[in-house]
Every structure is written in C-alpha cells, then in structure tokens.
Amino acid sequence: MTFKTIEIERHGRAALIRLNRPEALNALNSELIAELDSALSDFESDPEIGCVVLTGSEKAFAAGADIKEMRDKNFAEALLENFLGRWDTVARARKPIIAAVSGFALGGGCELAMMCDFILASESAQFGQPEIKLGVMPGAGGTQRLTRAVGKAKAMDLCLTGRMMDAQEAERAGLVARVLPAAELLPEAIKTSQRIAAMSAPAVLSVKEAVNRAFETSLAEGVRFERRAFHALFATHDQKEGMAAFIEKRPPQFQNR
C-alpha cells in the first residue's frame, strides 16, 4: 500500500513508520492519522513483524495536531466526530512501538510519542505541550501520560507555560529511555526493535501488557496479574526452548508459540 503522509520500511522483523509531512513539521492532520492507523493495523496483524519504530524527520518528530485543519472546528463537530479519537490506535497496539524522536515533539507530537512504549531521543529532541499558547489544552493524553511519566510538578510546569524541555531534561525526568547522538538515533532504534522482535512474541506481548497494567491498577492487583502472565508463559514452547538454550549455552530458537 502506498501512503502520502507516512513512509514505511521493513527491517527484518522490525517495521519502521516515518511521519512525512515536511512542509508542516509533520503536523498530525486527519489524513496522516488515518494512514498511521492503517499501517499500524497492518503491522499488528502481520506475524512477520514483532516490533515497530515510529519516527519523524531530523527537524521534527511532529509539531502537534494540525492547527490549520482544526482552527474552525466547533464544539459539536469535535464531539460528534470524536476528534482525536482515532489516535488511540497507537496506544492500543499490542506489539511494542518505540518512538525515535528528533527535533520537535510538541502537543500531539509529544502525546503520540508518549503513546508509544518507550522513547529514544536524539540530542536535538524538544518536548512540550504548548496547547495553552493556542488557548486550548492537550487533548490526546498529554495531561495524563506526561504527569505519570514526569510527575505533577514538571507536568504542570510544561502544560501551564507551554515551554519546551530538551532531551537531557526529558531523560532526567523519566520521559525518555535513552538519549543518542542524532546520527545514531534511527540505527539504534531499528537495532533495538529487531532485538525485541527476536524475543518470543508471547513473552514480549505479556511484558508489555503487564508493564502497562502498572498504570491502571493497584500494586497488589498488578503483581497478581504479572504472576498469572508469568505462569502462563510456562505453557509455551519458547519457555522450554529459552531455558534449554541457556543451559546448553547456545542461542535460543524461538518459534513464537
């Protein structure tokens, strides 16, 4: 399938989705979100793909929802069309998604990166929720995911002032997993994605589900959920293979079953 606002590549079992609206710093308009939804849904159902990287350009991961597209919306339209509702595909994906962020990740761009499972950032990355400067507020999870990632003080600071936070600050605050030199960002993100995709898929999906459960439930419930998921993995071929390979001092041959 060919897309207009995104590009896709396959690197073995890792898929790459590159946001590609350079004229608008990858502002997220409805066409781009529909294409992202479509590409991601394809990768979700493709057994050959184990992990996805979502990236933008060196200048911008994404500079937010498309302001030109939304400026004339009224309340009823936004409500009835469930404006921004379709973005949830990224947050609902079962396979891991790594955000590889260079340049601006602002507003919806920051929110999109936070919907991914973790963020690798280049030294040039800038994160922010500047919606307040437009007379509105974050609408795709910014006030919620940012607060969970960096805590109330910094989330309030960013959302109320609209200031940007650089990659180092974002890493210190826990928003970003690793900061890399710009030239290494994409190769490292793809390598990381391939590394995850080479693991046993049932274990990968279970880890993702269990870590995400930590945000939705109490500690006791979360630990109970983790224990059941852990027990369930003893029903897989890959548990036998992974442990046998360790004991026999050889690489495992996972079969995703």
Q: Which of 8, 17, 25, 201 binds ligand CAA (CB under 6 A)?
A: 25
The sign of the dihedral angle between the CA atoms of 40, 41, 44, 49 is: negative
The three-state secondary structure class of 38 is helix
159 touches 143 (CB < 8 A):
yes
Distances (CA, A) of 62 to 5, 86, 113: 12, 17, 9
Shortest Å, Cβ 69 to ligand CAA: 7
In whole angstroms, give the CA distance from residue 162 to residue 131.
Answer: 7
Shortest Å, Cβ 203 to ligand CAA: 33
The three-state secondary structure class of 66 is coil
C-beta closer to ligand CAA: residue 123 or 241: 123
Shortest Å, Cβ 99 to ligand CAA: 15
Q: Which of 50, 56, 96, 107 binds ligand CAA (CB under 6 A)?
A: 107
* Count of residues engaged in binding ligand CAA, rule: CB under 6 A: 22
Q: Which stretch binds ligand CAA (CB under 6 A): 1-9, 33-41, 128-136, 226-234?
A: 128-136
End-to-end CA distance of the chain: 29
Q: Which of 19, 27, 105, 186 binds ligand CAA (CB under 6 A)?
A: 27
In whole angstroms, give the CA distance from residue 172 to residue 200.
Answer: 31
Q: Which residues contact residue 195 at a Cβ distance below 8 angstroms, ignoring those fewer than 6 apart? A: none
- Which residue in 135, 165, 162, 163 sits closest to 150, CA to CA? 165
Q: Which of 34, 91, 134, 182 binds ligand CAA (CB under 6 A)?
A: 134
70 touches 30 (CB < 8 A):
no
Shortest Å, Cβ 25 to ligand CAA: 4
CA dihedral 142, 168, 67, 28 (to 10 degrees): -80
Tell me the catalytic residues. 65, 108, 111, 131
Q: Which of 142, 193, 204, 206 binds ligand CAA (CB under 6 A)?
A: 142
In whole angstroms, give the CA distance from residue 171 to residue 40.
Answer: 27
Q: Which of 53, 140, 173, 185 binds ligand CAA (CB under 6 A)?
A: 140
Q: Which stretch binds ligand CAA (CB under 6 A): 135-143, 217-225, 235-243, 246-254?
A: 135-143
Q: Which stretch binds ligand CAA (CB under 6 A): 116-124, 139-147, 150-158, 200-208?
A: 139-147
**Binding-site ranges for ligand CAA (CB under 6 A):** 24-25, 27, 63-68, 84, 104, 106-108, 111, 130-131, 134, 138-140, 142
